[in-house]
Amino acid sequence: MKFAIMINEGVYQHQATDSAYQFAKAAIEKGHEVPRIFFYHDGVYNASSLTEPPQDDRNIVSRWQKLAKEHNIDMVVCIAAALRRGIKESNLAEGFRISGLGQLVEAGIQADRLVVFGD
């Protein structure tokens, strides 16, 4: 089955992105596909190349980068939400791409399920 995921919150402030990560990982382990993850609202902060969490805690951004690279997940950040919040190409973490809201709608159309993680 194809699962699309939408993430509405940023890094560390809310558990949303952590829950989404564990869900995505479990889905892949069960043999499902996660073709696209769409980051909206504060979720765009998951794509920041500037985060520096403490060494003894999970690194949310790099965790996403690794999962996306290993399993070919399209990590899309909404351009309008990103610009509002100061996430641009110049501070975009590798493995993420900035695009339009249409990518979310398209993901919903093409996937079997769309799961939203937010606050």
Partner 1 sequence: MLHIVNKSPFENQTLDSCLRVVGNAEGDAILLTEDAVFAASKGNSNESKIKAVMGKVKVYALWPDVEARGMQDRVIEGIKMVDYGGFVDLVAEHSTCQSWL
Partner 2 sequence: MGEEMTEATGGIDFEDEEASGVVKKFMFVNRKAPYGTIYALEALEVVLISAAFDQDVSLAFLDDGVYQIVKGQHTKAIDVKNFSPTYRALEGYDIEKLYVEKESLDQRGLTEADLLVDVQVMSSADMAKMMAEQDIVISF
Q: Give the catalytic positions in this structure.
A: 78
HEC per residue, the chain: CEEEEEECCCCCCCCHHHHHHHHHHHHHHCCCEEEEEEECHHHHHHHECCCCCCCCCCCHHHHHHHHHHHHCCEEEEEHHHHHHHCCCHHHECCCEEEECCHHHHHHHHHCCEEEEECC
- Select from 11-19, 27-35, 46-54, 98-106 the region that touches partner 2 (CB under 8 A): 98-106
Looking at the Cβ atoms of 2 and 32, the one nearer to partner 2 is 2
| Residue 106 engages partner 2 in binding (rule: CB under 8 A) | yes
| Residue 118 engages partner 1 in binding (rule: CB under 8 A) | yes
In the structure encoding, which two tokens stand for residue 45, read together?
């902060």
What's the closest the beta carbon of residue 23 comes to partner 2, in angstroms? 15
| Residue 63 engages partner 1 in binding (rule: CB under 8 A) | no
- Select from 13-21, 24-32, 59-67, 94-102 the region that touches partner 2 (CB under 8 A): 94-102
User: How far apart are alpha carbons 62 and 59 in whole angstroms?
Assistant: 6
| Residue 83 engages partner 1 in binding (rule: CB under 8 A) | no
| Residue 19 engages partner 2 in binding (rule: CB under 8 A) | no
| Residue 58 engages partner 1 in binding (rule: CB under 8 A) | no
